[in-house]
Amino acid sequence: MPELPEVENWRQLAEDHVVGKRIRSVATRPDKIVFEGVSNQTFAKKLKGRFISSAKRRGKYLWLELDERPWPMFHFGMTGAFRVYEQTSERHKYWKAELLMEDGTRLGMSNSRRLGRIRLQEDPMMERPCVRLGYDPLSDPPPKVDLIQKLRKRKAPIKAALLDQSLFAGVGNWIADEVLYHTQIHPTRRLNTLTEPEVKALLTSLRRIIKKAVSVRADDSRFPKNWLFHYRWGKTKGAKTYEGEPIEFMTIGGRTTAVAKKKS
């Protein structure tokens, strides 16, 4: 599932190619699941002729700010993505919406498994789901003192807390596992048992991992070789890290969790 770095990459893609341009027309495919709270026809009508002033993101949600409201909001689900192209022949097989700019640039959103959502909102930051989101580790990191106080009041496992979007917006399964691997905090540790240095280490590691993933535009082939990311998929028997450390797989909060103990 796309996590914060992937969505930030698509935000940057929109910023690079459509921000500062006017929408000539909008093409859509009818889909009563993906288009939530608005028909595809109304979505197209509201956006036609509008000027795109900026592309914003919080957690895994992305929206375009226009010269008039409402604004289009996108959530990508497990298989959604943005792509930029010039010809309709380049559309993704499962495209849902396409914005054609006056200069001929097209921004398309695809969603093959239909788990993503397209909405129109007057003020995304003040409406659901964004209004319920917690800190964005990239654009709005929590002050360490505040985070320590919040975590000390909870007894949930740290892995579950990292996946709680009301606490850390945009953090998903692989990022959570990566952070815990590098800080060597076991995912079952209860929040109220963490020491102040451990909480600080978690926050530092979370920021560092997300910043690195964003800096390479979420291209996982460019992630550091020693990241757990490259070895955690598929629950492969006998899987090991780059350093040869055995990987154990367990389920925490309904999510597969990869755990490896670093060599001394």
pLDDT value for 187? 97
Query: Which of 56, 34, 63, 78 has the alpha carbon at shortest distance from 173?
Result: 78
| 221-259 pLDDT, tens digit each | 999 999 999 999 988 889 999 999 999 999 998 899 999
Whole-Å CA distances, 212 to 193, 208, 219, 223: 29, 6, 10, 8
Over range 199-208, report the average pLDDT.
95
| Percent composition of the chain: helix, strand, coil (DSSP 3-state, to 5) | 35, 25, 40
pLDDT value for 210? 98
pLDDT value for 144? 86
**Which residues, in sequence order, are CB contacts of 50 under 8 Å at separation 6+?**
22, 23, 66, 67, 68
Class of domain 4-132: alpha beta
| 18-76 pLDDT, tens digit each | 999 999 999 999 999 999 999 999 999 999 999 999 999 999 999 999 999 999 999 99
More confident residue, 144 or 61: 61
pLDDT band at residue 115 using 50, 70 and 90 as cut-offs: very high
pLDDT mean across residues, the chain: 96
Q: Has residue 1 got a pLDDT over 80? A: no
In the numeric block, the tokens 């309709």 are attached to 88
Question: Hey, which residues are catalytic here?
Answer: 2-3, 60
pLDDT value for 119? 98
Token pair in block for residue 128: 């659901």
* CATH of the structural domain 144-260, one choice from 3.40.50.720, 1.20.1250.20, 1.10.8.50, 3.30.559.10: 1.10.8.50
Question: Dihedral angle at the C-alpha atoms of 156, 161, 166, 171, nearest 10 degrees?
Answer: -170
Instruction: Return the domain boundaries, the chain.
Output: 4-132, 144-260
pLDDT value for 151? 87
Q: Has residue 263 got a pLDDT over 90? A: no
Q: Has residue 264 got a pLDDT over 90? A: no
pLDDT band at residue 153 using 50, 70 and 90 as cut-offs: confident
pLDDT value for 164? 95
